[in-house]
Amino acid sequence: MPTGELTPAEGKYLYCIMRGDEPRYFTNRGIGGRGDVVYTLNASGLAAVVSDSAIIEYDQSRRNMMAHTLVQEEAMQSGPILPIRFGIVAPRAEAIQEQLLARRAVELHGLLDSLEGRQEVGLKAFWYEDVLFQEVIDNNPPIRTLRDSLMGRSAEETYYDRIRLGEMIADALAQQRETDAEYILQRLRPLAEQIQLSKVLNDRMVLNAAFLIEQRRKPEFDTAIDDIDAVMGKRMIFKYVGAAPPYNFVTLTMSWDV
C-alpha cells in the first residue's frame, strides 16, 4: 500500500430488519469485496441482516443494487422485513444492536406486526404511443381541426398555432391519464390495504403505484390485473411486480451516536 494511504474503517452494511433471536446466515452473497457472508446481528427479538463492509459510499451499480435486493428477497421468505435503503453502513455491530434494535425495539416490532401476512406489489401502466395519439386526435375534434389546418403551411406561419396545438394535446393527455388511472385504481383499491402513488416518469406513463396487500388476496389481485389487461391491453402495457420489499410502506431513518 502506498505510504500515507488510509484503509477505510470497517463497519456493517445493512440490508433489512426482521424478527429473530438466534444468529442466522444467508445463502446470497453480500455487497462489496468483504461482504460475501451475510448474517444477522440480534437483540430484543429482532435481527439486523448485515455483511462486513468498509465504511464507504457504494455506487448504485446494477451489481450492487442486485446484491442488496437479493438478500432482502431471501429474508422475506421467512416473514415480514423492514427494508433498509441502499448504501447504509453502520460503524460497528454494537451500534446496530444497541442503538437500533434495542433502543427502538417497540417501534420496530410494531412495524413488523403491521406487515405480518402482507406484501408490496407494484404496477406501472404505459400507453402505446401510436394508439395514444390517434385517440387524442379521434376523440378531440378541436385538436383534429387545428392539426388539419396546419398541414401544408410553413413552420414560421403557424408558429403560435403549433404552440397552441401542443398545449391542447398536453391538456388532453392529462385528462386521459387521470381517467385511465382512476379506472385502474377503482378496480384495485378494494383489494389493497394501502396505496402509494408515485410520480409518472414520462408522457407515456399512466400510473406508477405500489399496493400493500394481504398475501392471501394475492391471487385475487392477480386476477384483477388480468381483467384490467383484458379491457385495456390494446391501449397500454402493464408492468406488474409482486412480492417486493415494502419500501413504499416503511420509512426508517437512523443515526449513530458518536
Chain-wide mean pLDDT for the chain?
Answer: 90
The whole-angstrom separation of Cα 135 and Cα 172 is 10
Instruction: Give the closest residue to 198 by CA, choosing from 148, 142, 255, 247.
Output: 247
Q: State the cell numbers at 63.
A: 451489481
The whole-angstrom separation of Cα 248 and Cα 195 is 9
pLDDT in tens, 125-180: 999 988 877 888 888 888 888 888 888 888 888 888 889 888 888 888 889 899 99
Q: What is the DSSP annotation of 113-173?
A: HHHTTEEEEEEEEEE-HHHHHHHHHHH-HHHHHHHHHHTTS-TTTTHHHHHHHHHHHHHHH
Q: What is the DSSP annotation of 159-185?
A: HHHHHHHHHHHHHHHHHHHHHHHHHHH
pLDDT in tens, 66-96: 999 999 999 999 999 999 999 999 999 999 9
Non-local (6+) Cβ contacts of 218 within 8 A are 119, 121, 242, 243
The model's pTM: 0.83
- Answer with the residue of higher pLDDT: 224 or 32: 224
Q: State the cell numbers at 89.
A: 453502513
Residue 219 confidence class, pLDDT cut points 50, 70, 90: very high
Domain limits, the chain: 10-116, 119-247
Domain spanning 119-247 has what CATH number?
3.30.70
pLDDT at 1 over 50: no
